[in-house]
Structure 1
Amino acid sequence: MATSDSSEGQRELWNRVRARLKAGVGEDVFTSWFARLELEEMLEDVVHLSAPTRFLCSWVQSNYADRILEAFRLDTEEVARIQITLRVNGQARPRLAQPAAEPASPSQTAAPAVAATPTPVSQPRLVRDNSAAKGDALAGSAIDPRMTFDSFVGGSANEMALGVARQIAQAVTNNTVSFNPVYIHSTVGLGKSHLLNAIAHQVQQADPTKNIVYLTADHFMYHFIAAVQRQSALGFKDWLRRVDLLLIDDMQFLQGKSATEFGHTLGTLLTGAKQVVVAGDAPPRDLEMLDERIRSRLSGGLVVPISGFDLDLRKAIVQRRAEQSATRYGMHFPAPVIDYIARAVVSHGRDLDGAVNRLVAANQLTGELITVPLAEKRWAT
């Protein structure tokens, strides 16, 4: 294989390939799918690339491997295969993915670092029609069955967001709209996704005929670009506009043409008095990748912040998780341990859950009693 003899030569080759890809697919598609790819190595006839998320690995491997291969072969005809693996903490996993045309057998131990992406069907199947089987309405992105209003712990930091979420669920069930659109924002791990899941659960349980679509921004981009590739973008738009409740999570990751399409869909849904709930990590005005009109439309609805958790809320969350562990495993969390975790873990809710899970694992695996010294040791590691 006529590869470059140095890492510098490979970087120059990769830069040429990136330039060809950008020229071939356009700025928006390049930014969405290629900008975060990195060249790891060129070994024999295989080019090894890495991506920062499993979704990106699967999507690019399934949909653009041939285009990337063509771009490389303009310089190096001996290249026969492109493999894309997950990059963890800045480094790619050392395992080789299977060729796109030869998926690995489930029994193979050296599995690809990314999950296989199902072949897109002619129309997305995220929306329930009245004859659909139970559960289809929540098939957009995975809905976590644990994320309900009952499992959400309220406090001063999130009481407004919780109240609005409950009101939305009730209004959609009663075929009315209270606030529209609703935009919930906070830093990571403070409960935005939990509230979106809880709204979807309550509406679905109250009225299984409702068309509910819950999508992360990544999945919105996936379905829109897949529809464009299948030349069915109009069908995709019509499909989205038939929903009763649209929930979009991780709005900060929406970009390119799919962000523009979201703006069109948002306008149509609002005109038709359909409920839209969006969650992101910053207020709408700070989402610079969105068109000013979309930011204005989101800001013109109800914008609900969730602030950092105070000590009382952190303690309530730890207490709830401890009670759940007591019910499941029969273990006891002494009050001083709950107090220690609430005071020591000040970042966000997921870290509180993680601290409790570490103690549960230590107790189950080693038989150690749950004490403050154990909590100190497990949180420090």
Structure 2
Amino acid sequence: MSDMHTTYYEFWQETASRIKDTLPEQEFNTWFNRIAYLKSEDKKVILAGASQFILDTVIARYRDLIVNTLSELTGEDINVEFAVISRSEIEQINKPEGNAKEKEEKQEPVQTQAKPKISNEKTLRMKVESNLNPSYDFGNFVIGDNSAFAYNASLAIAKNPGSSYNPCLIYGGVGLGKTHLLNSIGNFIINNTPELKVMYVTAEMFTNEFIESIGSQKTQHFKNKFRKVDVLLIDDIHFLQGKDSTQEELFHTFNNLYESKKQMVFTCDRPISELKNITDRLSSRFERGLNVDLQPPNYETRMAILKKKLIERGSSMSEEILNYIATNVCTNVRDLESSLTKLIAYSELLSQEISFDKAKELLGILPSLAANANQTLSIDTIIKVVGEYFNVSSFEIKGKKKNKSLIQPRQIAMYLSRDITEYSTTEIGTEFGGRDHTTVMHAYDRIESLMKGDEAFANTVQKLKRDLTNVKK
């Protein structure tokens, strides 16, 4: 190690301080609090992170900024390298120097006492009994602007269940990471506070067990199973729409746990206000606590996800191919992984490197262009039909211009997308140029109001709706 080690450390502190002034506070805290100055050599600074995905994201987003700032401050061409070390080591390095010894003395006995309490084998068994997927944890969730709020809320809940954010609802379209976060909460709690009883179920599992308990006359056993837990995690509550008896049972379970200050976290594919055939009193319970949404990942996050998955698979792929996937697959994480898996499988099975042209050929119509093929009607089709009727282009409807001639067709297209498909407002907003779900909700309410007061306008919307029901994708 060179004599410049201490000096470089001081330069790193100043670098971090300058970067903090240029970034939003949440963004800086999300990434720079998760890396640490490890050591230095001649004209080289080595930073560390607790996982490869953290480092990949920091490298992709901030490496040039870090290198340029360090070089400017030192007057030398500084090379920055990265290494993976444990999370506890990161926390230890980042402790304020004056309090490090005191904190170490306070924390060390707790760690040495707590860890032997439960073996890895027993921890795994507890997770399986709780229906959790042990492979989902906070460490392998790729955080982006689209998911930072939901991630941090989930982590806060996992660290202190039953406190401030109870209940919590995480909502968003398919494949965005809701199930990952829900399982991460449960796994974190079992790892760190194994004395708490955790239960994860999907809404379908909850419904099926309830029906079975009625048939076998074991309803009390069912009630005990779900009302005597410390943490209840229920996935995909939109499945409960129209299931009145199950909603009634969940309502009472909710009240019982809430009054006992037990933590509840739910996920849904849309905001609660958009669910149909859900009782008002149950809906109000879901909305009582913290509601956070997951948006589709932006380009930078999509690239970070792809690179992380490549590392996990021990594979490599050209930046050109990764850019092609990240640019075209804008729907969700699941579609990103599916596209990448297809290319990796081809390369591995045929033992040959994937070229850019071969990648395009294999991927064909990417998920973003397929517009969620499981839907009966695509949003692009709706936009096209409405645009043709009003003599405006699809590009203009999706665009940012707010001309009077565009606002109404755009709102009608949003209204019809919400009315005749199963897409959530979050997904619809994404298809309309990345607009927020509240914009779609406003458009729906606006068109519905106009239809009630203007018969001719209502007839126009109904005609478009009839035309669309006859259109094949």
TM range (shorter): 0.5 to 0.7
Residue 171 of structure 2 corresponds to residue 185 of structure 1: yes
Work out the number of aligned pairs and report it: 244
Instruction: Please report the TM-score for the alignment, with normalisation by the length of structure 1.
Output: 0.61
Quote the residue 1:352 is aligned against: 336
CA deviation vs aligned residue, 1:31-74 (integer Å, no higher than 9, x gap): xxxxxxxxxxxxxxxxxxxxxxxxxxxxxxxxxxxxxxxxxxxx
1:321 to 297, 301, 309: 309
Q: Is the 8 A contact 1:337 1:372 kept in 2?
A: yes
Quote the residue 1:157 is aligned against: 146
CA deviation vs aligned residue, 1:307-356 (integer Å, no higher than 9, x gap): 12211111111111112122xxxx32222121111012111100100111
Quote the residue 2:253 is aligned against: 265
SS of aligned partner of 1:279: strand
- Larger Rg over CA atoms: 2
Q: CA deviation at 1:139?
A: 4.1
2:159 to 147, 166, 170: 170
CA deviation vs aligned residue, 1:189-241 (integer Å, no higher than 9, x gap): 10000000111111111122221000001110111111112222123212211
Higher relative contact order (CA 8 A, sep 6+): 1
2:229 to 229, 236, 243: 243
Residues 177 and 141 of structure 1: CA distance in aligned 2, closer, same or farther (over 3 Å): same
Q: Is the 8 A contact 1:141 1:219 kept in 2?
A: no
Q: CA deviation at 1:289?
A: 2.7
Quote the residue 2:290 is aligned against: 302
Residue 208 of structure 2 corresponds to residue 222 of structure 1: yes
Residues 261 and 139 of structure 1: CA distance in aligned 2, closer, same or farther (over 3 Å): farther
Quote the residue 2:349 is aligned against: 365
Q: Is the 8 A contact 2:123 2:190 kept in 1?
A: no
Structure 1 portions without partners, runs of 5+: 1-129
What's the % identity of the aligned pairs? 30
Q: CA deviation at 1:137?
A: 4.1
Separation in structure 2 between the aligned mates of residue 225 and residue 133 of structure 1, nearest angstrom: 31
Separation in structure 2 between the aligned mates of residue 266 and residue 192 of structure 1, nearest angstrom: 20
Separation in structure 1 between the aligned mates of residue 126 and residue 271 of structure 2, nearest angstrom: 28
Residue 276 of structure 2 corresponds to residue 276 of structure 1: no
Instruction: Supply the AA of the counterpart residue of 1:292.
Output: D
Q: CA deviation at 1:263?
A: 1.1
Instruction: Please report the TM-score for the alignment, with normalisation by the length of structure 2.
Output: 0.49
Q: CA deviation at 1:136?
A: 5.0
Residues 351 and 141 of structure 1: CA distance in aligned 2, closer, same or farther (over 3 Å): farther
Quote the residue 1:290 is aligned against: 278
| Aligned CA-pair RMSD | 1.9
Q: Is the 8 A contact 1:140 1:215 kept in 2?
A: no
CA deviation vs aligned residue, 1:276-297 (integer Å, no higher than 9, x gap): 0000101111222321011111
1:375 to 359, 376, 382: 359
Matches within 5 A, 1:57-76: none
Q: CA deviation at 1:142?
A: 4.4
* Larger proportion of helix: 2
Instruction: Supply the AA of the counterpart residue of 2:263.
Output: Q
Q: Is the 8 A contact 2:197 2:230 kept in 1?
A: yes
Structure 2 portions without partners, runs of 5+: 1-117, 366-473
